[in-house]
């Protein structure tokens, strides 16, 4: 979460107790996301900074025990600023053979495996395609291995509650969480309160889960195991006093959109169509009716954006949201919003592509689509969020630009930001400057022209229902000023120039340098969710005395006015992206700088080590 700009002491040699990466992995039915979420809360309460990475299959209920059915949740927590979910885990909790197989190779050498040996039976080993039991054959020798029969220990712990076998085994995740809480010296009480509230309707089930949690904790406390299991205390990270909450990117977008609509003094209309990983935004907003939010689940992606444009035409803030494939379907309607100059916010929660691609995995490969992906000369502002908390700010910024310039705006986030949680200092809304919309309600003295413009080249916003300002709009080329249909060559040239000039003229803040100097040997330029790994990598290299700076671009289009000059101040520029080099192309095109690509498209975020290696190579 932290966006500190000062260099820190070298945290490369962090002992285990300074920052720890734990990955919980199990079957999709084992409740790993829940376990991870609750462990996250306990980290927050322990005062640690953290970042999380949920990694789950696209299938809703994948067959039990299979490799593709593994669901994992990784958390990186520590006593200094944490900006990524961590590279290699220090601890892997593997609830079955498939979870071990799919995750163990990423575990740090010498890292700790906690495996539920009760699940390592012949059937599960076969499903995970193990010829021999890895817990016994020595193949895990480079790690520390702790075999526990978590299944049996859980069954024993919940025996007094008379649950069925299946229900009893469902408490496994709480047993595991209890052990993890002990390992990191965490308070159990908030979790016990949470369980009692969650199962308020079934006190017996609540008590069984609490018993499992306590049993896991007690196991760590009393087993006195020699070897790997020992308690670690991670000191609180120094954070500013204030109120904090956990925030996912989807929540950040939803809340930011509501805040933006309030600052613009507009009702919001959200037209959406279910798609992974964007649906969470629709879900959040559909519960916020009292904020003057209307949500509409349309029949398809096209209807979702068209209804939003219709609502904007009617005087609401129209918003639509999707992921790559859905954004592709919305392309023609975006062109209409550009042509009719109506405000609109389009949120793209990017995922792996092309086509259906990797629905639950993350990628940044829709930048071309956002900047260039429409027919005709169709300029549109594009903003990219770097983190869940930043998504809140970016959503407000998108609304501001949309209404102040009468234009659709694309807001880019991605699957990683959408699902990941981070601690968020709850902002004081009073600190945000309102930008109330002024609708045109009367004809000006010199007569009403729907395509007249102010100093920002913005045309007036007139709500149907306003007497005296009747007019027609549409997708056919408009006559300058009047907005009447006009096919003349000179008029099309003029209107194309105006549309371009309006977007080019949008005032965006100057680009700052996140870390390092405003010039030097190397700039690492990023955008979106690569912020964390880039920032940490640059910090580590600077701590080693390397001349490297981090520049992170929020305004992808139009780009900050000072960016070209800034980039020319560095001998070299590298651009790490989770695509094959899209921002790199834009920067080369706009500034003729020799921006070099650093690319990764594995569906997984960059690790810090990967960025560090790229920095080393660029400086070599």
Partner 1 sequence: MNEMTTIAKSTPKDWETDQEVRWCPGCGDYAILKAVQRTMPEIGTAPENTVFISGIGCSSRFPYYMETYGFHTIHGRAPAFATGLKLANPNLDIWIVTGDGDGLSIGGNHTMHLIRRNLDCQIMLFNNEIYGLTKGQYSPTSRVGTTSPSTPYGSVDRPAQPAAFALGAGARFVARGFDVSKELPNVLKAAHAHKGAAFIEIFQNCIVYNKDVFEDFAAPKGAEDRQLWLKHGEPMLFAKGTKGIALDNEELHLKVVDVVDGDWQSAGVIVHDVTNRSVAHMLVEMRFGEFPMALGVLYDDPRPTFETDVVRQNKAAAEGKTADLQSLLKKGQTWTVTESGPEL
Determine the size of the site formed for partner 1 (CB under 8 A): 72
If one asks whether residue 45 binds partner 1 (CB under 8 A), the answer comes out as yes
Place of tokens 């995740």: 173
CB of 261: closest distance to partner 1 in angstroms? Answer: 10
If one asks whether residue 318 binds partner 1 (CB under 8 A), the answer comes out as yes
If one asks whether residue 308 binds partner 1 (CB under 8 A), the answer comes out as yes
Q: Which positions ≥6 away from 116 have C-beta within 8 Å?
A: 94, 95, 96, 148, 149, 150, 151, 172, 176
Of the candidate spans 45-53, 213-221, 492-500, 592-600, the one that interacts with partner 1 by CB under 8 A turns out to be 45-53
Pick from 56, 143, 161, 244: which binds partner 1 (CB under 8 A)? Answer: 244
If one asks whether residue 315 binds partner 1 (CB under 8 A), the answer comes out as yes
Tokens of 293: 């939010």
Distance CA 322, CA 278 (A): 5
Tokens of 501: 């000039």
Contact 111, 91 (CB under 8 A): yes
Nearer to partner 1, 158 or 250 (CB): 250
Site string for partner 1, 186-215 (x = CB under 8 A): ----x-------------------------
Of the candidate spans 40-48, 93-101, 452-460, 557-565, the one that interacts with partner 1 by CB under 8 A turns out to be 40-48
Q: Which positions ≥6 away from 90 have C-beta within 8 Å?
A: 16, 20, 21, 22, 107, 108, 111, 112
| Interacting residues with partner 1 between 508 and 567 (CB under 8 A) | none
CB of 380: closest distance to partner 1 in angstroms? Answer: 16
- What is the DSSP-derived secondary structure letter of residue 139? T
If one asks whether residue 309 binds partner 1 (CB under 8 A), the answer comes out as yes
Helix (H/G/I), strand (E/B), else coil: 199: coil
If one asks whether residue 236 binds partner 1 (CB under 8 A), the answer comes out as yes
CB of 262: closest distance to partner 1 in angstroms? Answer: 6
| Interacting residues with partner 1 between 271 and 300 (CB under 8 A) | 271, 288-292, 294, 296, 298-300
C-alpha to C-alpha distances, 51 to 84, 183, 262, 420, 515, nearest whole angstrom: 6, 19, 30, 7, 20
Helix 32-45 to helix 189-198 angle (10° resolution) is 140
Pick from 47, 357, 518, 520: which binds partner 1 (CB under 8 A)? Answer: 47
If one asks whether residue 476 binds partner 1 (CB under 8 A), the answer comes out as yes
Q: Which positions ≥6 away from 67 have C-beta within 8 Å?
A: 98, 101, 102, 127, 128, 129
Q: How many CA atoms lie within 13 A of 97 on its CB side?
A: 22
Nearer to partner 1, 153 or 394 (CB): 394
Pick from 429, 501, 512, 592: which binds partner 1 (CB under 8 A)? Answer: 429
Nearer to partner 1, 336 or 391 (CB): 336
Nearer to partner 1, 133 or 297 (CB): 297
CB of 247: closest distance to partner 1 in angstroms? Answer: 8
């Amino acid at each position: 979460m932290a966006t500190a700009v000062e260099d820190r002491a070298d945290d490369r040699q962090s002992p285990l107790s300074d920052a720890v990466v734990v990955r919980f992995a199990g079957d999709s039915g084992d409740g790993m996301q829940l376990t991870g979420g609750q462990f996250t809360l306990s980290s927050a309460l322990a005062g640690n900074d953290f970042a999380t990475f949920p990694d789950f299959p696209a299938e809703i209920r994948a067959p039990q025990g299979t490799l593709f059915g593994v669901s994992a949740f990784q958390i990186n927590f520590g006593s200094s600023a944490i900006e990524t979910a961590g590279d290699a885990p220090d601890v892997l909790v593997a609830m079955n053979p498939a979870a071990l197989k799919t995750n163990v190779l990423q575990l740090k050498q010498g890292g700790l495996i906690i495996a539920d040996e009760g699940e390592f039976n012949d059937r599960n080993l076969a499903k995970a395609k193990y010829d021999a039991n890895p817990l016994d054959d020595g193949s895990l020798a480079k790690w520390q291995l702790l075999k526990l029969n978590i299944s049996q220990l859980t069954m024993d712990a919940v025996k007094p509650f008379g649950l069925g076998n299946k229900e009893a085994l469902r408490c496994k995740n709480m047993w595991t969480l209890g052990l993890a809480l002990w390992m990191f010296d965490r308070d159990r009480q908030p979790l016990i309160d949470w369980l009692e509230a969650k199962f308020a309707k079934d006190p017996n089930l609540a008590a069984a889960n609490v018993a499992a949690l306590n049993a896991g904790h007690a196991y760590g406390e009393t087993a006195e195991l020699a070897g790997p299991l020992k308690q670690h205390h991670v000191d609180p990270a120094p954070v500013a006093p204030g109120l904090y909450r956990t925030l996912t990117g989807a929540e950040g977008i939803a809340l930011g959109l509501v805040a933006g609509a309030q600052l613009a003094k507009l009702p919001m209309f959200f037209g959406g169509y279910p798609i992974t990983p964007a649906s969470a935004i629709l879900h959040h907003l559909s519960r916020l009716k009292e904020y003057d939010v209307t949500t509409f689940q349309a029949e398809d992606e096209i209807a979702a954006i068209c209804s939003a444009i219709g609502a904007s035409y009617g005087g609401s803030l129209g918003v639509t949201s999707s992921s790559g494939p859905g954004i592709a379907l919305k392309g023609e309607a975006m062109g209409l919003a550009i042509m009719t100059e109506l405000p609109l916010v389009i949120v793209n929660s990017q995922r792996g592509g092309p086509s259906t691609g990797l629905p639950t995995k993350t990628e940044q490969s829709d930048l071309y689509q956002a900047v260039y992906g429409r027919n005709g000369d169709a300029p549109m502002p594009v903003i990219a969020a770097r983190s869940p908390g930043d998504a809140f700010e970016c959503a407000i910024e998108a609304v501001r630009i949309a209404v102040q310039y009468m234009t659709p705006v694309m807001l880019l986030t991605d699957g990683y930001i959408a699902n990941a949680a981070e601690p968020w200092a709850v902002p004081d809304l009073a600190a945000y400057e309102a930008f109330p919309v002024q609708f045109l309600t009367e004809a000006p003295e010199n007569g009403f022209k729907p395509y007249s413009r102010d100093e920002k080249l913005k045309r007036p916003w007139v709500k149907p229902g306003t007497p005296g300002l009747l007019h027609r709009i549409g997708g056919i080329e408009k006559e300058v000023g009047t907005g009447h249909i006009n096919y003349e060559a000179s008029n099309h040239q003029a209107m194309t120039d105006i549309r371009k000039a309006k977007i080019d003229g949008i005032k965006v803040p100057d680009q700052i340098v996140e870390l390092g100097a405003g010039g030097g040997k190397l700039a690492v330029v990023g955008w979106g969710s690569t912020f964390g790994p880039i920032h940490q990598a640059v910090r580590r290299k600077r701590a080693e005395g390397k001349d490297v700076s981090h520049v992170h671009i929020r305004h992808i289009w139009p780009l900050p006015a000072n960016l070209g000059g800034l980039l020319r101040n560095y001998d070299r520029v590298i651009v790490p992206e989770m695509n094959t080099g899209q921002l790199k192309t834009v920067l080369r095109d706009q500034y003729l700088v020799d921006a070099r690509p650093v690319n990764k498209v594995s569906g997984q975020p960059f690790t810090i080590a990967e960025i560090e290696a790229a920095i080393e190579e660029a400086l070599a």
